[in-house]
Amino acid sequence: MDLLLPLVVKRQRWSDRIQQVEMPLFSCYCFVRIAHDERRAVLEAPGVIALVGSPERPEPIPDAEITALQRLSASKLPFDTHPYLEQGATVEIIRGPLAGVRGRMIHRGNGTQLILSVNLIQQAAAVHIDAADVHPVCH
């Protein structure tokens, strides 16, 4: 069984201090790659509510989306959650630690961000990028 829990560093305010803490990138979601016969064991694990998809037929997250999240987590780039977007140009990073990763490019303030979407769970992550490091993807 393969497990992926992307974490993001957030500032947490306590009554007497502010501290940096690691939290799941997507609240309530942990990614696992399991064989069909392992579903019951996963569903019986403490804290697990359901698998993504229908109870009769779980849906796998596409490998490209999982690989993009793994590469983002392994990079030293600052990233955070982002509202899920369906609009925007699909681009591919052509250089740097995320070279080959595809996502949607948006402009926010004075910068450009790449949105990495996990479509099945309607969650996304945003990372600041240099617009010169991307090229459009033709469908």
**pLDDT tens digits for range 30-81:** 999 999 889 889 999 999 999 998 777 889 999 999 999 999 999 989 888 8
Tokens for 138, please give them: 């033709």
Residues forming a β-bridge with 109: none
User: What pLDDT shows up at residue 54?
Assistant: 79
pTM of the model: 0.69
Q: Which segment of 74-78, 81-85, 132-136 scores lowest on mean pLDDT?
A: 81-85
E strand map for the chain:
2-4, 7-13, 18-24, 31-33, 79-82, 89-93, 102-108, 111-118, 123-129, 134-136
Total residues belonging to the chain = 139
What is the per-residue pLDDT for 123?
Answer: 94
Quote the number of domains for the chain.
Answer: 1
Domain that holds residue 11: 2-136
15 three-class SS: coil
